[in-house]
């Protein structure tokens, strides 16, 4: 089965004279982790917004599981099966950890226009939320206020909320950002197992994690994908070495 779950075709986006996204195409197949790397300012954030919604492309299309989602809003794309985590944790800070996870499960169930029964006592939502918290290792902190979580725990909660959506595709924007070495390693192990649930488009700066996890790597430079391949191929690609890894090595 080589069905493509996420199919990005020929996306363009310009801001004035600046081509932020220049004819980008990429795919995500079941069971894989496809890493997107590139130096700062390469246009990763723009590309993510074009895929997740919230920024209209000048041209090109985005398909999820065969469905053209290009005209759809962020909300509709989430409902179509995109589980997204944010680069900077984006959570309801007044809520408990469990409430944030239940919010995700509620979004997935779609039964939000209910005005009477207490949501935190709804068994399926609670169980789904707790399952996700369990998976990321936050179950012990379920009753904690989100604002009181550490940075790393917030990253974990981001992933947990995405899990409750039971997405067809994960889109993770630098999930390792700001995690210590131990945290990165634990999350790397977790994401490794997660690909069985749904494939992951992983935008990440942590090269150890990328080379350990990615089945395929695409390198984005100045809005263009200059190479796509396995970790070994990318490491050996002379263009990449000049444009990107060279800088990294020098740094």
Partner 1 sequence: MTRETILNTFLFLLLPATALAAFALDEPFIITLATKAAILALAGVGLNIALGLGGLVSFGHAAFFGLGGYAMGILAAHAQSYTPIMESPFLIEGTKSMPVIWLVALAVSALAALLIGALSLRTSGVYFIMVTLAFGQMLFYFAISWPAYGGEDGLSIYVRNGFPGLNTLDPLTFFGIAFVILAAVLFFAGRLARAPFGLALSAARQNAERVEAVGLAPFKLRLVAFVISGAVTGLAGALFADLNRFVSPTMFSWQTSGEIMIFVILGGVGRLFGPVAGAALFILLEHVLGGLSEFWHIYLGLLLLLVVLFARGGMIGLIAGREVAHD
Query: What are the residues binding partner 1 (CB under 8 A)?
Result: 52-54, 73-76, 78-79, 84, 86, 90-96, 98-100, 102-104, 106-108, 110-120, 122, 143, 145, 161, 164-165
CA distance 251 to 245: 10
- As beta bridge partners, residue 28 has 6
Q: How many CB atoms lie within 10 A of CB 211?
A: 16
State the nearest-atom distance from the C-beta of 33 to partner 1, in Å.
20
State the nearest-atom distance from the C-beta of 201 to partner 1, in Å.
15
DSSP state of 244: I
Which lies closer to partner 1 via its Cβ, residue 70 or residue 89? Answer: 89
DSSP per-residue string spanning 174-242: -TTTT--HHHHHHHHHHHHHHTTTS-EEEE-S-HHHHHHH-SEEEEEETTEEEEEE-HHHHHH-HHHII
Closest CA to 191 of 162, 230, 225: 162
State the nearest-atom distance from the C-beta of 41 to partner 1, in Å.
22
Which lies closer to partner 1 via its Cβ, residue 22 or residue 128? Answer: 128
Token duo for residue 162: 């995405």
State the nearest-atom distance from the C-beta of 154 to partner 1, in Å.
12
CA distance 236 to 96: 47
State the nearest-atom distance from the C-beta of 238 to partner 1, in Å.
39
Please tell me the total number of residues recorded for the chain in this structure: 251
State the nearest-atom distance from the C-beta of 217 to partner 1, in Å.
25
Which uninterrupted H or E stretch holds 13? strand 6-15
State the nearest-atom distance from the C-beta of 78 to partner 1, in Å.
4
Which lies closer to partner 1 via its Cβ, residue 129 or residue 210? Answer: 129
Which lies closer to partner 1 via its Cβ, residue 52 or residue 191? Answer: 52
Which lies closer to partner 1 via its Cβ, residue 37 or residue 165? Answer: 165
Give the chain's end-to-end CA distance (angstroms, integer). 42
Which lies closer to partner 1 via its Cβ, residue 144 or residue 185? Answer: 144
Which lies closer to partner 1 via its Cβ, residue 103 or residue 210? Answer: 103
Task: Please give the angle made by the CA atoms of 155, 114 and 135, to the nearest 5 degrees.
Answer: 25
């Amino acid at each position: 089965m080589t069905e493509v779950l996420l199919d990005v075709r020929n996306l363009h986006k310009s801001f004035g004279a600046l081509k932020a996204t220049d004819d980008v195409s990429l795919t995500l197949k079941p069971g894989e982790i496809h890493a997107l790397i590139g130096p700062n300012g390469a246009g990763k954030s723009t590309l993510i917004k074009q895929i997740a919604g919230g920024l209209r492309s000048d041209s090109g299309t985005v398909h999820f599981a065969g469905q053209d989602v290009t005209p759809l809003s962020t909300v509709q794309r989430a409902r179509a099966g995109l589980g997204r985590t944010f680069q900077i944790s984006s959570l309801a800070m007044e809520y408990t950890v469990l409430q944030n996870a239940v919010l995700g499960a509620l979004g997935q169930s779609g039964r939000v226009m209910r005005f009477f029964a207490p949501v935190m006592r709804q068994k399926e939502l609670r169980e789904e939320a707790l399952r996700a918290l369990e998976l990321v290792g936050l179950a012990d902190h379920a009753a904690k206020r989100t604002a009181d979580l550490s940075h790393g725990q917030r990253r974990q909660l981001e992933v947990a909320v995405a899990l409750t959506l039971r997405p067809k595709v994960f889109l993770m924007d630098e999930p390792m950002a700001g995690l210590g070495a131990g945290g990165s390693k634990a999350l790397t192990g977790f994401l490794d197992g997660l690909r069985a649930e749904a494939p992951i488009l992983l935008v990440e700066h942590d090269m150890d994690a990328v080379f350990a996890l990615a089945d395929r790597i695409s390198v984005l430079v100045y809005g263009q994908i200059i190479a796509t391949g396995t970790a070994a191929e990318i490491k050996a690609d002379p263009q990449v070495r000049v444009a990107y890894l060279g800088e990294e090595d020098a740094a």
